Chains A and B, each alone.
Chain A
Amino acid sequence: MEILMSITVGVLFMVATYLMLSRSIFRIVMGLVIISHGAHLLILTMGGLQNGMPPLLGQEAANYTDPLPQALILTAIVISFGLTAFVLVLAYRTYDAHKTDDLDQLRGTSDE
């Protein structure tokens, strides 16, 4: 199970890196969204996956699912949700002001 998850995370990072290296603003934003998903899954995997175990119920539990990664991911999801909303608006405003979504044309000139 961990191996499968690791491969999934790796694929997500790969896709995200590819998207972020492209020139279009929208693809970069999508890359950021996907890399955040990859990071969240990675936290879950790093906490150790348990199949069908209850969360920690008492001090004598023989086996349990670690609740902390889920709490961390919940926090991280909320943050990346807010960030995504902000970045999308910013990307749209940038596109609107410059009439282009090609980062090569958004490079900026040296004389300003």
Chain B
Amino acid sequence: MNSLVILPVLLPFLIGAVLILLAKKHQAQRVITSLTVLSMLAASVILAVDVYQNGIATMEMGDWPAPFGIVFVADMFATMMVILSSIVGVVCLFFAFSTISTEREKFYFYPFYLFLLAGVNGAFLTGDLFNMFVFFEVMLLASYVLIVMGGTKYQLRESFKYVVINVFASMLFLIGVAYIYGALGTLNMADMAVRIEETGQTGILNVIAILLLIVFASKGALFPLYFWLPKSYYGPPSAIAALFGGLLTKVGIYAIIRLFTLVFNHDIGFTHNIILALAGFTMFFGVLGAVSQFDFKRILSYHIISQVGYMVMGLGIFTPLALAGAIYYIAHHIIVKSALFLFSGATESITGTTDLKKMGGILKTHPLLAWMFFITAVSLAGIPPLSGFFSKFPLILSGMQEGRYIITAVALLVGLLTLFSMLKIFIYAFWGEQKHTDEQAAKKIGPILLPIVPMVLLTIILGFAAEPIFSYSYGIAEELLEPSIYINSVLGE
């Protein structure tokens, strides 16, 4: 029993509820929200250190013993994800301070921002499938509000589609929960794992596994369910797009990795080969979408799709090395992708557009922005010594070792195309003739850039300190591939 486990969820949730009362005082909201996210970051780091030293921490709600009550489980994977979500939460918030309009601030921007973080952290930490559904809904409802906030025609139109698709996927989630309850008689994930081990993963359980895979694939933007993502992430302001692009799809990926390492791990030849095929298609079509676009934000949105493929590829290969690579990749991706979305916001605040054909010459007027973008972009493409290289390397290596040559070839090709489309952004937006006015060129963007600096530093650190970080992700992968550790710490011996 460790009450610290609930803190990353409870903190943003309670403060967010209080902030609704202070809706009109946006200065007070700013101060309280930043204190909240900073203390959430501190709490998540303390929790992660505790879990790293003392093993998995659990908390049973209302002292009802698992599997009867709802249980919160903080293992190394969950705590790492909570740290990442807190980092993105802090950075995007400080970026929002200098870019978001006062109208949005007065229309409950901060409460919903905190509710979103509470939902994300809750989905990472919970050990109960139905509770995960609830936290998904908390997160999604907050995301619906944030994505439509501002109410332009474009936002309304695309948000409606986003909402409908997500509500439909949530209903499928609920149906999957019902089937699991009918088949296994429990919703506690550790208990589910125990019972599947007893009964064997028979036909009906494979069907349920694929149903839940469809649910999380549509939330995590896997092939062929990614079609909603690029358009809906284009609408909201960059601070929100960065938060979404960094976090939301990764919650779906987290759920896939959790379920297919802990619960549905007895018929790997069937489920994990499907996952591997999905990963290949996701990477390939995602990056083709990115290559064909000529808009800063759209290219980045399509890259979310192609990179989600890498994470799932690590799960599909299903060796400790591959899974460690996937986890490393999640860490790298969350940081780099949020940073790139924030850069798109920074360039938009200079040029007033995200269309690459209308941009140019930013390198001359704002060299710091350009070079910081360059570091992050080549990191995304996987150039050593940045984090992208060291996260792709174990994935490719394990693909070779396991003889999965097709997926490895696809992964390498996608890396090349990623580099191509990142350089396309750099060439069109930062090189060439200056297309923005001198007035725009004189704009000081120091306060906008400042929150992104830690992200750029983090991608450099994740690259140069690859050894300790890789061994940490290898530890996570070994823990994931040994489900008895998780089960024993939840249910007792």
User: In the complex, what distance in Å separates the CA atom of A36 from the CA atom of B175?
Assistant: 9
The contact of B160 among A45, A72, A106, by CB within 8 Å, is A106
B167 adjacent to A97 (CB under 8 Å):
no
Residues of A within 8 A of B145 (CB): 86
Most buried by A among B159, B167, B179, B231: B167
Residues of A within 8 A of B159 (CB): 90
Q: Which residue of A lies closest to B154 (CB)?
A: A112
| A51-88 interface with B by 8 A CB criterion | 68-69, 72, 75-76, 79, 82-83, 86-87
Residues A90 and B179 in contact, CB atoms below 8 Å apart: no
Q: Among residues 16 to 49 in chain A, which have CB atoms less than 8 Å away from a CB atom of chain B?
A: 20, 25, 28, 32, 35-36, 39-40, 42-43, 45-48
C-alpha spacing A82/B163, complex, angstroms? 13
Decide yes or no whether A15 CB sits under 8 A from chain B: no
Chain A contacts for B486, CB-based, 8 A: none
The contact size tier of chain B is 20 to 34
Could you tell me the distance between the alpha carbons of A83 and B133 in the complex, rounded to whole angstroms?
14
Q: Is the CB of B137 within 8 A of A79?
A: yes
B468 lies within 8 A of chain A by Cβ = no
> Are B171 and A39 touching (Cβ within 8 A)?
yes
The reply to whether B181 and A43 contact each other, CB–CB distance below 8 Å, is yes
Cross-chain contact B168 with A46 (CB below 8 angstroms): no
In contact, A36 and B178 (Cβ under 8 angstroms): no
Cross-chain contact of A76 among B144, B164, B168, B174 (Cβ < 8 A): B174
B167 touches which of A32, A42, A47 (Cβ 8 Å): A32
The answer on a CB contact under 8 Å between A36 and B157 is no
A87: chain B residues within 8 A (beta carbon):
163-164, 167
Q: Known: A69-B181, A79-B134. Contact between A98 and B156, CB under 8 A?
A: yes
Q: Which residues of B contact A86 (CB under 8 A)?
A: 141, 144-145, 163
- The verdict on A90 contacting B167 (CB below 8 Å), with A97-B153, A106-B160 known, is no
Asked, given contacts A35-B171, A83-B141, whether A97 binds B177 with beta carbons under 8 Å apart, the answer is: no
Check A42–B175 contact: CB distance below 8 A: yes
Q: Are B157 and A98 in contact (CB under 8 A)?
A: yes
Contact A32 B168 (CB under 8 A): yes
B352 at the interface (CB under 8 A from A): no
Residues of A within 8 A of B133 (CB): 76
Contacts of A36 in B (CB 8 A): 171, 174
**CB contact between A25 and one of B153, B160, B171, B179 (< 8 Å): that residue:** B160
The one of A20, A35, A43, A106 in contact with B178, judged by C-beta atoms closer than 8 angstroms, is: A43
What distance in Å separates the Cβ of B205 from its nearest Cβ neighbour in chain A? 14
B157–A106 CB distance below 8 A: yes
- A8, CB-defined interface residue at 8 Å: no
Q: Report yes or no: B164 in contact with A82, Cβ–Cβ below 8 A.
A: no
Q: Is the CB of B156 within 8 A of A97?
A: yes
Residue in B153, B158, B168, B178 with the greatest tally of chain A CB atoms within 10 Å? B178
Let me know if A94 and B171 touch, CB within 8 A: no
B175 and A39 contacting across the interface, CB-CB below 8 Å = yes
A-B contact count (CB 8 A): 82
Choose among A43, A45, A93 the residue that contacts B156 (Cβ–Cβ < 8 A).
Answer: A93
Residues of A within 8 A of B144 (CB): 86, 90
Q: Does B182 contact A (CB under 8 A)?
A: yes
In chain B, what residue has the closest Cβ to A75? B134
Q: Which residues of A contact B177 (CB under 8 A)?
A: 43, 72
List the A side residues contacting B175 at CB < 8 Å.
39, 42
B170 to chain A: closest CB distance in Å? 8
Contact with B along A82-112 (1 / 0, CB 8 A): 1100110011011001100000001010001
What is the chain A residue whose CB lies nearest that of B145? A86
Give chain A residues whose Cβ lies under 8 Å from the Cβ of B158.
108
In the bound complex, CA of A79 to CA of B135 (Å): 11
Contacts of A94 in B (CB 8 A): 156-157, 160
Chain B nearest CB, measured from A110 CB (Å): 11
Residues of B within 8 A of A35 (CB): 168, 171
Residue of A nearest to B176 (CB): A39
B168 touches A97 (CB 8 A): no
B110 at the interface (CB under 8 A from A): no
Query: Is there an interface contact between B153 and A98, defined as CB atoms closer than 8 Å?
Result: yes
A43 to B133, CA, bound (A): 14
Which residues in B have their C-beta under 8 angstroms from that of A83?
137, 141, 167
**Which among A36, A83, A98 has the greatest number of chain B C-beta atoms within 10 A?**
A83
Q: B148 an interface residue at 8 Å Cβ cutoff?
A: yes
**B224 touches A (CB below 8 Å):** no
CB-CB nearest in chain B for A96: B156
Between A and B, 10 residue pairs with Cβ closer than 8 Å are: A25-B160, A32-B164, A43-B174, A46-B182, A75-B134, A76-B174, A82-B141, A83-B141, A86-B163, A97-B157
Residues in A lying within 8 Å of B, measured CB to CB? 20, 25, 28, 32, 35-36, 39-40, 42-43, 45-48, 68-69, 72, 75-76, 79, 82-83, 86-87, 90-91, 93-94, 97-98, 106, 108, 112
**The 6 residue pairs across chains A and B that have the minimum distance between CB atoms:** A46-B182, A43-B178, A39-B174, A46-B178, A94-B156, A42-B178
> 13 additional contacts, CB 8 Å, given A28-B164, A97-B151, A97-B157?
A20-B164, A32-B167, A32-B171, A42-B178, A43-B181, A48-B182, A86-B163, A87-B163, A87-B167, A90-B148, A97-B153, A108-B231, A112-B154
